[in-house]
Amino acid sequence: MAELKALIFDVDGTLADTERDGHRVAFNKAFAEAGLDWEWSVEVYGELLRVTGGKERIKYYLEKYRPDFSVDGDLDAFIAGLHAAKTEFYKALMADPGLPLRPGVERLLREARDAGLRLAIATTTTPANVTALLRNSLAEDAEDWFEVIAAGDIVPAKKPAPDIYVWAMEKMKLSPEHCLAFEDSDNGVRSVVGSGIRALLVTVNDYTRDHDFSGATVVVDHLGEPGKPCRIIQGPDLIRKQVDVDALKAIHAHALS
Ligand code: XBP
Ligand code: MG
């Protein structure tokens, strides 16, 4: 049986509920600053989340909701400018008021570090967004906790393509059987499964609880904290109240058996 050596984390929706109160708000601020009357409601944003990547999401919105919209010059350049402004708003939001990590995330990261597990990130979001969340919500030096931060346009094909996980594993010189991934969405699950990683723990959130997670080993509501046990939604009963390193090893062993 291959040993569990590394944990690879998605960011948005997995480390923190960044989509509704972070990304969505930042997009709307960028639209308002640009004089556009676009306002992404919580509900519409749930539909737009089918498309990963902020620039790709804006493009999809224009095609579906604003088919008559046009700009002088290059549309991709216009979208890139709008998206750059959105990133600045997002970074500012992470600094003030900030966004808490999901239950159990900080606890598990600290336990995993102490146990000698290698940590990495594989996300669709812009690298600066990851930095802003980790520094403000986890620790000043939290970027250094992760051996590899694979993010954004580093690979051309975003999730659900497997490329970002494959890129992270190549950088770490690790094969899929030594890794366990954390995700929150069906697009993320497809990306993990396509990369060859079989050990996959999903924590659902309000935007994703109805997704198809058939590729996951275990699905829970959150990672659990002392006094706030997690609930298993799908998969074998391998977790006692909260996801700890022993539970991760059991999930990994079950996935590979
Ligand atoms: C995250 C995303 C990202 C963020 C926005 O998906 O889809 O697009 O919503 O980030 P995942 P950018 O959690 O599956 O990685 O605007 O920086 O692209
Ligand atoms: Mg996610």
What CATH number has the domain bearing residue 28? 1.10.150.240
* Catalytic status, residue 12: yes
Tell me how far apart the alpha carbons of residues 211 and 225 are, in angstroms, rounded to a whole number: 24
Tell which of 66, 95, 124 closes a domain: 95
Asked, for residue 124, whether it belongs to a domain, the answer is: yes
Both 10 and 35 in one domain: the answer is no
Pair (229, 159) in one structural domain: yes
| CA of residue 205 to ligand 2 center, whole Å | 10
Q: Does the C-beta of 103 come closer than 6 Å to ligand 1?
A: no
Does the residue 1 lie in any domain?
Answer: no
Q: Are residues 107 and 230 in the same domain?
A: yes
Containing structural domain, residue 78: 19-95
Whether residues 205 and 139 fall in one domain = yes
Indicate if 59 and 165 belong to the same structural domain. Answer: no
Q: What are the Cα distances from residue 140, in Å, to 71, 104, 133, 135? A: 41, 19, 10, 5
Ligand 1 binding pocket includes 191 (Cβ within 6 Å): no
Is any ligand 1 atom within 6 A of the Cβ of residue 208?
no
Closest ligand by atom to 80 CA: 1
Task: Give per-residue pLDDT as tens, 27-66.
Answer: 999 999 999 999 999 999 999 999 999 999 999 999 999 9
User: Which domain CATH number covers 195?
Assistant: 3.40.50.1000
pTM exceeding 0.85:
yes
* Same domain, yes or no: 142 and 229: yes
Number of domains in the chain: 2
Confidence of residue 13 (pLDDT cuts 50, 70, 90): very high
The reply to whether 223 falls in a domain is: yes
* Residues 124 and 162 both lie in one domain: yes
Cα–Cα dist 134/143, whole Å:
6
User: Do residues 14 and 182 touch, judged by C-beta distance below 8 A?
Assistant: yes
Confirm or reject: Cβ of 53 under 6 Å from ligand 1. yes
Ligand 1, atom 16, lies closest to the CA of 54
80-90 confidence digits (pLDDT tens): 999 999 999 99
